A and B are shown apart, each in its own frame.
Chain A
């Protein structure tokens, strides 16, 4: 094979000539490998399919299949006769001791040059997907490119193989052991994006004044939907690292940031976190927290057993940017609660999560655009020392029952 490594599959055909002869007869000409397929449609394992021609004789045939320095899952190896599937029968498979090999015992009703397909799971060969997106200056769309990266560390050289992904056309590609190949396989221009700023009160500091010389960055993401309106939507986008650039208006680009996307099925969206905005500043403070509706027990020294709280939270949002922005603000109120008064509308994402969509105009000559959220709420039925949550604590993982 042109000096290339082919550690795999020294296939040796052995014929059981007679009961007396215990020896193995080695055939001089090893069957050449042809029509190799590398299937990369399952991210957990790579399936190799290859075709070879075995010279079978009428009666019992033994075929040795061995591999060295490559990692094949021995239980995954399959053999299929292609020319005479009704006349050629695989009787059994034996594994010799201390050896990466197996022996097929094949019964044949005639002399055939039988084309067979051998398939097996091969380790250390896989594919990655990476993305590169260039946003326009206005940040309304990206030109998206996706690259397929083939990595072969299996120990085996593939001179020419048909590579199959879970979608798209298969293509011919050779790849040597320890070689990595990067190919462009998807190009979509003007994919619409939505730019999102998110302040989550559970994740970010509330009062920047309390931090010594540290900015609180508001995370900024681009949302991309995998559908036909986006010029996509033909197949799921595999998960991978995405690097995002922006056209700088000077025939060049700047690098905006990178993130990893998980797999995006058709119709679903992904949000890529690119960096932090320091031109939107949120100052959140608790202005009041008192106990009300207190109930005591009948002890001679009564103990507080039940109460509500009365709480006021304010959040000042300042936009120092000279462009408008829509800030998604996430607030959390634990336990049971009632909103008494809130000066902005919100969506209840779940029992304890409130989402506000706050439209901020651009900064003007008079200074930053400022909005202030005020939430006045009561938390209900709190019991000192008792923590009752809407989401019950998860049960310990079920142990699979023992099958008998």
Chain B
């Protein structure tokens, strides 16, 4: 439905009398329209081109947007020819009329003039989501990235060039809220006017649209569209090939990228303070060339992971994980939740205290505590896994004086270490470490 309406009032000033003659001209529809849709905020930049027929002299152009979600303060019109002869004197929001703007244009030419009109609207959105299909040995994953574009703007944008922005944009006001203001810039001395116009409802209109949209869809499905990606400032711009028609109330899913064989690491993590006693499974890979990726960052979204089961193309569902924005060359770790088939057990095998110090009264003023931990890691799966175990000590006065069967560890920060192990299918590993912690006056001797 057309909700954005233009009309051109040509006011020709009669000589002498100073009386205005008003002509109302119906405008041609938009010739092209481009949508740049954001996902960090409910916001879309719309740019459309139309051809105005201007008369030499003063012209008034009326633009109305009832039942849309346009931010009227974002409206801008620029002539694309004879720029030096066309002066857009002002944009007036007339009194006691809502959703209406009036451009006063001084033109030094008469005839057709192409103009570009841009504005911000809310109601269009997009999100990324992913499907991962693991091979049976879980060493490779087929990764498909999708974007889903939804139009709830109240306006049908037909044959629109559709672009998506990946990035976190700083905005001050919600566009939807600006769109509902009674006065575009509010009133002096007040914050924000209470919402006046109700949001457009998209219910009950679906049926009329279904047929035409289905036809459009059919034409689109013949060949999946390419999405080109390029970096701009801190954001990424995705441009969907060709034109899209997404009527209000509808959404559309498009394939963004596909990588057939992404090598993945089955990473399991154990950290009592964070995950409790369970082991949490992660799928790990890197957004780089070796992993068939790395051309552009991957926007955050939900990933559903499946695993091939049997030879007939059956699938089993492994789990899902939402992940954050992944820059190029960054590691991805997808949390698939707690598991039972890889287990870590931590036990204190020995405990003693030592090195007591006493004050002048003979009271204990310092001591050491020495604990021997035994960590047992079991992989009951039929594939190899990598296990990361983090240990937090709650003090910075500690020493690992001996590290049992397993020697390698890495200090993460002042009171955390990390052990990393690789386990073969259906195998177990066991290691010990001895932790000495220093208490009260004994901390003086820590170094």
Residues of chain A at interface, number, CB under 8 A: 70
Judge whether A220 and B234 touch: CB under 8 Å.
yes
0/1 string, A213-227, CB within 8 A of B gives 1: 111010110000000
B169 engages A248 (CB within 8 Å) = no
Interface size class of B (residues with CB under 8 A): 35 or more
Q: Is the CB of A182 within 8 A of B91?
A: yes
Q: Are B170 and A276 in contact (CB under 8 A)?
A: yes
B325 surroundings in chain A (CB, below 8 A): 215, 278
Closest chain-A Cβ to B181's Cβ sits at a distance in Å of: 11
Which residues from chain B contact A181 at a C-beta distance below 8 Å? 90-93
Contact with B along A254-292 (1 / 0, CB 8 A): 111111100000000000011111110100011111110
Q: Which residues of B contact A371 (CB under 8 A)?
A: none
Interface segment out of the listed B182-190, B204-212, B307-315: B182-190
Q: Is B411 an interface residue (CB 8 A)?
A: yes
Contact segment of B50-58, B249-257, B359-367, B419-427: B359-367
Contact of A151 among B183, B237, B335 (CB under 8 A): B183
Most chain-B Cβ atoms within 10 A of its Cβ — which of A254, A258, A321?
A254
A339 within 8 A of B: no
Contact A180 B92 (CB under 8 A): yes
Partner of B188, one of A123, A212, A249, A253: A123
A69 → B minimal CB distance (Å): 14
Residues in B with CB closer than 8 Å to A151 are: 183, 185-188
B residues 52-107 touching A (CB-CB < 8 Å): 73-74, 76, 88-96
- A-B residue pair count with CB separations less than 8 angstroms: 185
Q: Is the CB of A153 within 8 A of B359?
A: no
Q: Whole-angstrom distance between the alpha carbons of A367 and B286 in the complex?
A: 11
Contact (Cβ within 8 A) A278 B329: no
Q: Is residue B297 within 8 Å, beta carbon to beta carbon, of the partner chain?
A: yes
The answer to whether B335 and A212 touch across the interface, beta carbons within 8 angstroms, is: yes
CB atoms of B324 and A254 under 8 A apart: no
CB distance from B175 to the nearest CB of A (A): 10
Across the interface, do A276 and B329 meet the contact criterion of CB distance under 8 Å?
no
Residue of B nearest to A182 (CB): B91
User: In whole Å, how far is A202's beta carbon from the nearest beta carbon of chain B?
Assistant: 18
Question: Can you name the residue of chain A whose Cβ is closest to the Cβ of B80?
Answer: A251
Contact B414 A255 (CB under 8 A): no
Complex-state Cα separation, A278 to B69, whole angstroms: 29
In the assembled complex, how far is the CB of residue B386 from the closest CB belonging to chain A, in whole angstroms? 16
Chain A residues whose C-beta falls within 8 Å of the C-beta of B118 in the assembled complex: 253
- CB-CB under 8 A from A51, the residues of chain B are none
Residue of A nearest to B411 (CB): A287
How many angstroms from the CA of A150 to the CA of B93 in the assembled complex?
10
A115 interface hit (Cβ, 8 Å): no
Q: Is A160 on the interface with B (CB-CB < 8 A)?
A: no
Question: B414 touching A363 by the CB < 8 A rule?
Answer: no
Give chain B residues whose Cβ lies under 8 Å from the Cβ of A286.
413-414
Among A137, A275, A285, point to the contact of B234 (Cβ < 8 A): A275
In the complex the two chains form, is B95's CB within 8 Å of A184's CB?
Answer: no
User: At the interface, yes or no: B235 with Cβ under 8 Å from chain A?
Assistant: yes
Please state if A180 and B188 are interface contacts (CB–CB under 8 Å).
no
Segment at the B interface, from A27-35, A84-92, A98-106, A128-136: A128-136
> With A and B bound together, what is the CA distance between A294 and B234 in angstroms?
49
Let me know if B170 and A322 touch, CB within 8 A. Answer: no
Q: Kindly list chain A residues whose C-beta atoms are within 8 Å of the C-beta of B324.
A: 213-215
B171 contacts partner chain A, Cβ-Cβ < 8 Å: yes
Choice from A153, A276, A294 contacting B187 with Cβ under 8 Å = A153
Within A204-218, the residues touching B (CB, 8 Å) are 207, 212-215, 217
- Asked if A404 CB lies within 8 Å of chain B CBs, one says no
For chain A residues 102-146, which have a beta carbon within 8 Å of chain B? 123-126, 128, 130, 132, 135, 137, 139
The stretch that binds B, out of A13-21, A171-179, A345-353, A390-398, is: A171-179
Complex CA gap A367/B287 in Å reads 10
Q: Are B189 and A124 in contact (CB under 8 A)?
A: yes
Chain A residues with Cβ below 8 Å from B363 are: 301
| Beta-carbon nearest neighbor of B286 in chain A | A367
* Contact of B168 with A217 in the complex, beta carbons under 8 Å: yes
Q: Which residues of B contact A125 (CB under 8 A)?
A: 188
Contacts A151-B187, A275-B170; is A179 near B237 (CB within 8 Å)? no
- Proximity bits, A299-323, B CB within 8 Å = 1, else 0: 0111000000000100000001110
Q: Check B34 for interface membership: any CB of A closer than 8 A.
A: yes
Q: Tell me, yes or no, whether A378 is within 8 Å of chain B by CB.
A: no
Q: Are A281 and B330 in contact, CB atoms less than 8 angstroms apart?
A: yes
* A149 sits at the interface (CB 8 A): yes
Q: State the CA gap A179–B93 with chains docked (Å).
A: 6
Q: Are B327 and A139 in contact (CB under 8 A)?
A: no
Considering only CB atoms, which chain B residue lies closest to A319 in the complex?
B327
Is B323 part of the binding interface, using a Cβ–Cβ cutoff of 8 Å?
yes
Nearest to B87 among chain A residues (CB) is: A184
The yes or no answer to A376 lying at the interface (CB within 8 A) is: no
Decide: B88 and A302 in contact? CB cutoff 8 A.
no
Chain B residues within 8 Å of A, Cβ to Cβ:
34, 36, 38, 43, 45, 47, 73-74, 76, 88-96, 118, 120, 163, 165, 167-172, 183-189, 231-235, 237, 288, 297, 300, 321-325, 327-330, 335, 359-361, 363, 365, 396-397, 411-414, 443-444, 446
Question: Can you identify 16 A-B contacts, CB atoms within 8 angstroms?
Answer: A126-B189, A139-B233, A151-B185, A182-B90, A183-B90, A184-B88, A214-B324, A248-B232, A255-B36, A256-B235, A275-B167, A275-B235, A279-B328, A290-B397, A320-B297, A320-B327
Given contacts A248-B237, A278-B234, A287-B413, 10 further A-B contacts (CB under 8 A): A182-B91, A183-B89, A255-B43, A274-B233, A279-B297, A287-B411, A290-B443, A300-B359, A320-B330, A367-B329
